[in-house]
């Protein structure tokens, strides 16, 4: 297509939007509302996943060493653990440190721990964190076989259940998103179909004059793209603004729930909403046109 | 040249619309296609515009076989065939000149040639003064003249007019016939499907009569029908 033809296409698209201004507003509104719903779900899903992730990442392996092993054996074990490819962080915790931590934990009620410094019943050990939390399940049992290791703990039983729950959460979030995107496509395609239907006579005339399918299609595609873009920009703006506002409030009032930081997270959300909204506009108009191009 | 060889069209429901039709129209001819309703006139125009494919036979327009075009080739056939219909088929929210210019935009003609050619054809159909009007502000005859201007603006190989005077009073109809004759005089082949007996009888052009899907008469300087 030549440049002047593109000018004609966009002129057609915009004059059609101006002429059917009510339909244009309705379509933009539909896209905006659908994208807001989708956006809210994206935010929920992202925060849910983030929450699940932050719980999972607290999963670590505690290794307790036999009392009688030497300094060299400890160093050797540290080196072996560090070389394991699943392991991200290896931290040595001496029994003195463990006691201090315990005392912190009990705070004012730590009196009963008094005197233990002299005959510390705790054991030296390591804390391991893996690159991915689920690697804990496979890794932990093998660690027991190392020389000098007395005991391995990773919250056996609890961790398996936790992973099962977070797994379900992820699947539910994904399913909701796919369902919503499908519903959004349907609603938007239907809205555009109304405008296309109103112009089926014009499309028919164009075919008789010898216009190619793409010549007829492009103004509709540009129109759908513009409607989708404007609608999703409105939605993305509202979503970003309200998330940022509620983040500031929630972080203070409910600090227990780990929320995803607004930036750069919102950039991604805005990007996705605009991309999806625009694509839906284009797909909606192309799909709706197909039937009327068969002349 | 426009050639139809042994064209048959049988619809899915078993209705035979055309049966073994042979027709040859030389460049520059003026041909009336007449016949009662259901004789196959509409099917003939639909086949020529590749709206449908013939069940059997071959159609050749300007040396190109067009009875089995792929979907994306059809627009290029239609650009060689200017069309005018009973119901005008104009864009009601475009001005007269925009309607005519559209046919040139479809073939991506330059802005300059559009600016030059559109007033020419509007002058030829006598609508120069109404270039900025909307079709809804025009009479039926004027609207049909806009359609004619649009049909010939790209100088098509054939002008196919399907009942162009069907919606017009006799006087206006003659105005349209005069323009068709002018167009024909400039070398464009004109194919006109019609019921207008008085026009066919008065013009004394070639008349092809269809009945029940067959060509029953093909006369040069003919009349609408001998019997009625």
Is B111 in Cβ contact with A4 (below 8 Å)? yes
> Among partner residues B76, B89, B108, which is closest to A208 by beta-carbon distance?
B89
**Predicted local confidence at residue A18, as pLDDT:** 83
Query: Dihedrals φ, ψ of A173, to 5°?
Result: -60, -45
**Predicted local confidence at residue B153, as pLDDT:** 92
Query: Dihedrals φ, ψ of A214, to 5°?
Result: -70, -30
Residue B226: pLDDT above 70?
no
**Predicted local confidence at residue A16, as pLDDT:** 80
Q: What is the ipTM of this complex?
A: 0.87
Average pLDDT taken over every residue of chain A: 80
* For range B39-44, the mean pLDDT: 89
> Among partner residues B89, B105, B110, which is closest to A205 by beta-carbon distance?
B89
Residue B37: pLDDT above 80?
yes
Beta-carbon contacts of A248 under 8 Å, excluding residues fewer than 6 positions away, are none
Query: Dihedrals φ, ψ of A44, to 5°?
Result: -60, -50
What is the distance between the alpha carbons of residues A189 and A283, in angstroms, rounded to a whole number? 8
What digits encode the pLDDT tens for the residues B164-176?
Answer: 998 888 888 999 9
> pLDDT-based confidence at A146, cuts 50/70/90?
confident
Residue A190: pLDDT above 80?
no
Q: How far is Cα of residue A215 from the mean position of the Cα atoms in its chain?
A: 39
Q: Is B83 exposed, middle or buried (0-12, 13-18, 19+ CB in 10 A)?
A: buried
* For range A116-132, the mean pLDDT: 78
Residue A40: pLDDT above 70?
yes
Q: Which domains does chain A have, with CATH numbers?
A: 3-55+162-293 (no CATH), 60-154 (3.30.70.3040)
Residue A245: pLDDT above 80?
yes
Residue A192: pLDDT above 80?
no
> Among partner residues A5, A204, A295, which is closest to B105 by beta-carbon distance?
A5
What digits encode the pLDDT tens for the residues B167-224?
Answer: 888 888 999 999 999 999 999 999 999 988 889 999 899 999 999 889 999 988 888 8
Query: Do the Cβ atoms of A211 and B106 come closer than 8 Å?
Result: yes
**Predicted local confidence at residue A135, as pLDDT:** 78
pLDDT: is A251 or B10 the higher one? B10
Is B79 in Cβ contact with A4 (below 8 Å)? no
Task: State how far residue A224 is from chain B, nearest Cα, in angstroms.
Answer: 21
Query: Do the Cβ atoms of A125 and A63 come closer than 8 Å?
Result: yes
Beta-carbon contacts of B211 under 8 Å, excluding residues fewer than 6 positions away, are B35, B36, B39
**Predicted local confidence at residue A295, as pLDDT:** 60
* For range A237-248, the mean pLDDT: 87
* For range A1-19, the mean pLDDT: 83
pLDDT: is A141 or B187 the higher one? B187
Q: How far is Cα of residue A269 from the mean position of the Cα atoms in its chain?
A: 9
Is B83 in Cβ contact with A4 (below 8 Å)? no
Among A100-109, A208-217, B48-57, B199-208, which stretch is predicted with the lowest mean pLDDT?
Answer: A100-109
Is A211 in Cβ contact with B106 (below 8 Å)? yes
Query: Do the Cβ atoms of A32 and A273 come closer than 8 Å?
Result: no
What digits encode the pLDDT tens for the residues B113-155?
Answer: 999 999 999 998 999 999 899 999 999 989 999 999 999 999 8
Query: Do the Cβ atoms of A144 and A128 come closer than 8 Å?
Result: no
Among A132-136, A282-286, B117-121, B132-136, which stretch is predicted with the lowest mean pLDDT?
Answer: A132-136
Residue of chain A minimizing CA distance to B106: A211
**Predicted local confidence at residue A269, as pLDDT:** 83
Is A211 in Cβ contact with B75 (below 8 Å)? yes
Instruction: Tell me the residues of A at the B interface, defined by beta carbons under 8 Å apart.
Output: 1-2, 4-5, 8, 19, 201-202, 204-213, 215, 295
Task: State how far residue A28 is from chain B, nearest Cα, in angstroms.
Answer: 23
Three-state DSSP state, A202: helix
Short-list A149, A171, A153, A170, CA closest to A81: A149
Task: State how far residue A212 is from chain B, nearest Cα, in angstroms.
Answer: 6
B103 CB neighbours in chain A (<8 A) are 209-210
> pLDDT-based confidence at B227, cuts 50/70/90?
low
* For range A253-272, the mean pLDDT: 79
> pLDDT-based confidence at A156, cuts 50/70/90?
low
What is the distance between the alpha carbons of residues A142 and A61, in angstroms, rounded to a whole number? 12
Query: Do the Cβ atoms of B149 and B124 come closer than 8 Å?
Result: yes
**Predicted local confidence at residue A223, as pLDDT:** 85
What is the distance between the alpha carbons of residues A286 and A217, in angstroms, rounded to a whole number? 7
Is B108 in Cβ contact with A4 (below 8 Å)? yes
Query: Domain B27-53+69-219 belongs to what architecture?
Result: 3-Layer(aba) Sandwich (3.40)
Short-list A89, A201, A47, A78, CA closest to A146: A78
Residue of chain A minimizing CA distance to B152: A209
DSSP lists the bridge partners of residue B160 as B83, B191
> Among partner residues B93, B103, B111, which is closest to A209 by beta-carbon distance?
B103
Residue A291: pLDDT above 80?
no
Residue B228: pLDDT above 70?
no
DSSP A5-50: HHHHHHHHHHHHHHHTHHHHHHHHHHHHHHHHHHHHHHHHHHHHHH
């Amino acid at each position: 297509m030549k440049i002047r033809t593109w000018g004609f296409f966009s002129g057609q698209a915009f004059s059609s939007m101006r002429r059917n201004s009510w339909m244009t507003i309705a379509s933009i509104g539909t896209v905006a509302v659908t994208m807001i719903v989708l956006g809210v779900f994206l935010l929920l899903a992202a925060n849910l996943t983030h929450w699940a992730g932050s719980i999972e990442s607290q999963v670590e392996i505690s290794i307790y060493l036999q009392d009688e092993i030497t300094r060299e054996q400890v160093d050797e074990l540290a080196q072996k653990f560090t070389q394991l490819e699943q392991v991200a962080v290896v931290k040595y915790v001496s029994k003195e440190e463990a006691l201090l931590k315990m005392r912190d934990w009990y705070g004012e009620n730590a009196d009963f721990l008094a005197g233990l410094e002299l005959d510390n019943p705790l054991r030296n050990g390591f804390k391991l964190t893996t690159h991915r939390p689920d690697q804990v399940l496979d890794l932990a049992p093998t660690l027991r076989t190392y020389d000098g290791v007395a005991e391995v703990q990773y919250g056996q039983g609890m961790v398996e259940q936790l992973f099962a729950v977070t797994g379900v959460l992820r699947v539910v979030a994904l399913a909701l998103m796919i369902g919503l995107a499908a519903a959004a496509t349907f609603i938007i395609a239907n809205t555009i179909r109304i405008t296309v239907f109103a112009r089926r006579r014009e499309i028919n005339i164009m075919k008789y004059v010898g216009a190619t399918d793409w010549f007829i299609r492009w103004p509709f595609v540009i129109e759908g793209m513009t409607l989708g873009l404007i609608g999703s920009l409105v939605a993305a703006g509202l979503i970003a603004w309200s998330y940022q506002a509620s983040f500031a409030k929630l972080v203070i009032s409910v600090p227990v729930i780990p929320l995803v930081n607004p930036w750069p997270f919102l950039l991604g959300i805005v990007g996705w909403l605009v991309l999806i909204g625009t694509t839906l506009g284009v797909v909606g108009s192309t799909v709706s046109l197909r039937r009327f191009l068969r002349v | 040249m426009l050639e139809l060889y042994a064209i048959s069209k049988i619809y899915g429901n078993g209705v035979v619309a055309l049966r073994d039709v042979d027709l040859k129209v030389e460049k520059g001819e003026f041909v009336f296609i007449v016949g009662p309703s259901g004789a196959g006139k509409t099917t003939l125009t639909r086949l020529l515009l590749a709206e449908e494919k013939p069940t059997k036979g071959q159609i050749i327009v300007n040396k190109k076989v067009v009875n089995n075009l792929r979907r994306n080739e059809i627009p290029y056939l239609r650009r060689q065939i200017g069309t005018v219909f009973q119901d005008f088929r104009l864009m009601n929210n475009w001005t007269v000149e925009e309607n005519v210019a559209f046919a040139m935009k479809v073939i991506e003609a330059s802005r300059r040639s559009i600016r030059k050619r559109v007033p020419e054809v509007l002058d030829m159909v006598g609508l120069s003064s109404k270039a900025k009007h909307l079709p809804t502000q025009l009479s039926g005859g004027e609207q049909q003249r806009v359609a004619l201007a649009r049909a010939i603006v790209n100088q098509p190989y054939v002008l196919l007019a399907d009942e162009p005077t069907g919606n017009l009073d006799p006087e206006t109809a003659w105005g349209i016939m005069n323009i068709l004759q002018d167009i024909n005089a400039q070398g464009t082949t004109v194919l006109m499907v019609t019921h207008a007996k008085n026009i066919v009888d008065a013009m004394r052009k070639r008349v092809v009569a269809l009945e029940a899907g067959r060509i029953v008469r093909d006369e040069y300087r003919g009349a609408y029908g001998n019997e009625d």
